[in-house]
Amino acid sequence: MASDTGGARLNRIEIPAHREALAKALRKRYEEMAAGPAPAGRILSRPGSRGIVKYAVPALAAIALCATVLAVLVVSWPGGGGTDRTTRTVMTGSQALAAREEARATGFDFALFKEVSGGVPGNVVLSPLSARMALAMAYNGASDEVAGEMAYVLDFEGMDLDDVNAMMRGLIDSLLQADEDQVQLELANSIWSDDGMGFTEDFRERCVDNYFAEVASVDFGEGESAGIINRWVEEKTQGKITDIVDASELEDLGDLVAMLINTLYFKGDWTRGFDASMDAEGPFRLAGGGTKEVVFMRQAGRFDYLENEVFQAVRLPYGNERLGMYVFLPREGRSLEDFTAGLDLAGWDEWMASFSRVEGEIALPYFGTDFEADLSPALVSLGMGSAFGGDALPGMFAGKIDGPGPFMEKVVQKTSIGVNGVGTEAAAATVIHVRWCGLPEQVQGFVMEVDRPFFFAISDNETGTILFMGSIYEP
């Protein structure tokens, strides 16, 4: 998609002041950084024409970053695999309108989570940041109709293409400097084309310059191509995400022409680690009845804390405290499903502004989980149906082939998280498969025993970015 048309395809509308301010601030930071030397603690390299940019961030800087950008929700995924694209792109006008209004009111992060989780008990972990990064790259090749849908769902409305790319680059720069001394964050993007299919110069340059994407070409018809891509993902996520591409699936999709990939790795230590001598086994009450014996880590002190008639919530910071994990425990008699069903952007912003420092005690179970989902049905439901058929991504490839052009076949995400008394390690990878068709009151003190299903989010206080969010039904 040429830069001279990017600003003309979307009508300017009024957007929330805090989002507009964030976009302007990140764009300003991006412009300042582009004009000056690379920040200390980060190495930039761009060999040849492949547009490879590497970040060297001290080991503990990544985790604080990941906690900010990645909001992890843990809920079960009903049905698992993909849906036939003919059925999943068909929505009535009223259904599409309702979905778009839901996405606008809820915000992309929470809307995606609620669509994927489906309200069914079971652990689900999502990285809205990883999904947004991959989709933002695809946005650069979208048709006007598809770009309009994507802008609505991804909260890009009111910004032209250059503004979106500058905002995303500014977000990457900001996150990579969030806590360089104590948190390890590794964020990588790549665009892969089938042999003989060349990306347009405009698309390639936008992905390289704004998303630091590595550019590669493979023969998707060869079984070894899956191994090449999987090794790249595994390397970028420190071995946490493996086998995200199925070799047999590539052989079945003869018209697969590209993959757009984002990976995110986070490892961070708590600002105040939990004393292992305080660990104790105890029962965790399961949503379906019964209990499970788990190990709880315990700590007393002053925490950022919030409570109301619906939940208790505490923030556990990493490193220099810019990044932290929010743990939300529904009150007795209230279900986690009801809590997550009520999540929206306005409520979240209100909660974030309402935490205060309170003396108290926290007991949190050790937990870890892996999760994988096809995000395509959720994205269609939210209003991006046109991206999954027809000539959805005409600005991605050079040349012209008769018949409908490229479109998203599916969007797959895998995540992994582990939480213990030292800190958190989390990773995510999102892969877009592109086919060519035819080709409260003051609280005096608290005790928070997280002994039943709970919600958590790892978030960055400065930008408000949610790195991971999740619902944990069974540690």
- For 291-328, b/e burial (b = at least 16 CB within 10 A) is eeeebbbbbeeebbbbbeeebbbbbbbbbbebbbbbbb
pLDDT of residue 32: 52
Phi and psi at residue 137, to the nearest 5°: -65, -45
CA distance 28 to 45: 23
Region class of 158: left (phi > 0), else alpha (psi between -120 and 50), else beta? left
Each residue's pLDDT tens digit, 147-163: 999 999 999 988 899 99
Better pLDDT: 60 or 206: 206
Residues β-bridged to residue 431:
261, 412
CA distance 211 to 440: 41
Which of 83-87, 93-97, 108-112, 119-123 has the weakest average pLDDT? 83-87
* C-alpha gyration radius of the chain: 22
Distance, first Cα to last Cα, the chain: 45
Better pLDDT: 169 or 49: 169
Cα four-point dihedral sign 125, 129, 133, 135 = positive
Reported as a pLDDT band with limits 50, 70 and 90, residue 65 is very low
Instruction: Determine whether 361 is exposed, middle or buried from the number of CB atoms within 10 Å of its CB (0-12, 13-18, 19+).
Output: middle
Pairing relationship of beta strands 406-419 and 454-460 according to DSSP bridges? unpaired
pLDDT of residue 438: 53
Each residue's pLDDT tens digit, 86-99: 233 334 444 444 54
CA distance 243 to 230: 5
* Mean pLDDT value across residues 24-49: 40
CA dihedral 100, 105, 109, 112 (to 10 degrees): -40
Structural domains of the chain, with CATH: 3-62+120-269+369-436 (3.30.497.10)
* Mean pLDDT value across residues 291-296: 96
pLDDT of residue 1: 36
